[in-house]
Amino acid sequence: MSKENQLKEIHTSGKAYAIYKSINGFNLYTDFSKKITLNNKNVSGFLNKKRINKKPQDTDLFIGFFGYELLNNLIGIKVPKQKSMNFPKGIFYKPEKKISYSNNLVNYRIDKVRLKKKFKININRKSYTKIFDKFKKKIKSGETYQIKICTKYKLKSTIDPLDFFCRLSKTNLAPEAFMIRDKDYSIISCSPENLITKKGSLITTKPIAGTVRKNKRMNKIKALSYFRNNLKETKEHNMIVDMERSDMSRICKVGTVKLSKEKAVEEYKDLFHYVSLIKGKVKKNIKNIDIIKAMMPGGSVIGCPKISTLNLLNNQEKENRNIYTGSFGYLKFNGDMKFNIIIRSILNYKNISEISVASGVVVDSNAKHEFSENFIKAKALIDLFK
């Protein structure tokens, strides 16, 4: 049986599976022997448990996600009671089968009438501006230097996640794309941002801070010029890079944390991003839980400084973020790991599709521009429903 037919068979069987973008294509994980639903009480035990396999295999790992609230709790930050759909705080799976695919995952498409209803946004421009002005005052008073305002787009709908993921991968392929399909939920994502890649003692993170819309007049070279000459974008990027260097320094050997690539432009379907790459060497005796607590939630989607900004966000936001600005990836039994930041994602649960996005507020920000930037980030996902 071809790999393409294998995927179609797995999908139509109703079995749970996950797909994660790899360097050369995609890796599919399925035949899960364990499913661990995480909560605030068991997450530390899950991360601290040592797992050894005498005959190493490609499936010696757990793959899944940490939700935003769980990561806050892990670093001692309580999220006030918010409106919630009661989606799990985190789920990890132990696969027994791995199938690798080339860049062309599969030609899977279902033909049906697309939904004509429009997504409802939880914060309109007027409400957004009020929150924006409030946070501007917090910045001027020194409580934060940068903060991300989250908006949600929701639509009552059922989706075929493989159909959506295949189309998304063809139109807006991102280096940290992933999907999960389980019996009661699905997630598809074209996340561009890697938060942790650890192999042996080497660890890297790739902060993204800076977004500009693509159009006929804006190409990659002009985007780089725009970022370099834009004071707001430069300040935002520098702050996030400094914060993530600081986060890495807590778990890395002194003098090893360095900028490997600084302020480059990456191109996506509807936008350009400003990115850097930071490398370091992990100290001896550092555990999985130490790395997760140091690096998560990812600073580029929260703000700076991380702790005080998280508290400001959590007290302002009325709805639970669920997976948004959490992390998806895997923990290998040998200590290696790879995690992204969950952005540009659709969570479908209880027949509700939810897309969350955020844009950064610094002292030089403009409310109209940032509100529009949120829609730009959501557009590639919203277009899948047309």
Rounded CA separation 259/241 (Å): 9
Q: Which of 64-68, 180-184, 304-308 has the lowest mean pLDDT?
A: 304-308
Confidence of residue 111 (pLDDT cuts 50, 70, 90): low
Nearest to 304 by CA among 223, 384, 248, 361: 361
Q: What is the mean pLDDT of residues 102-125?
A: 75
Report residue 216 CA to chain centroid gap.
Answer: 28
- At 210-252, the pLDDT tens digits run 888 888 888 898 988 889 888 878 888 888 899 999 999 999 9
* Phi (first) and psi of residue 332, to 5 degrees: -85, 155
Contact criterion met (CB below 8 Å) for 350 and 85:
yes
Both tokens of residue 331? 């923990």
Q: Which of 15-19, 99-103, 176-180, 311-315 has the lowest mean pLDDT?
A: 99-103
Rounded CA separation 303/111 (Å): 41
CATH class, 3-385 region: alpha beta
- At 25-58, the pLDDT tens digits run 899 999 999 999 999 999 999 999 888 777 789 9
- At 50-93, the pLDDT tens digits run 887 777 899 999 999 999 999 999 999 989 999 999 999 999 99
Tokens 């995480």 belong to: 38
- At 258-301, the pLDDT tens digits run 998 878 888 887 788 889 999 999 999 999 999 999 999 998 88
- For residue 192, cis peptide bond before it (omega within 30 degrees of 0): no
Q: Cβ contacts of residue 116 below 8 Å, gap of 6+?
A: none
Query: What's the confidence (pLDDT) of residue 280?
Result: 97
The continuous run of DSSP H or E covering 194 comes out as: strand 194-199
Confidence of residue 129 (pLDDT cuts 50, 70, 90): very high
Contact criterion met (CB below 8 Å) for 337 and 329:
yes
Nearest to 353 by CA among 88, 154, 151: 154
Both tokens of residue 261? 């690539």
| Mean pLDDT of the chain, nearest integer | 91
CB neighbour class for 31 (10 Å; exposed up to 12, middle 13-18, buried from 19): middle
DSSP character for 288? H
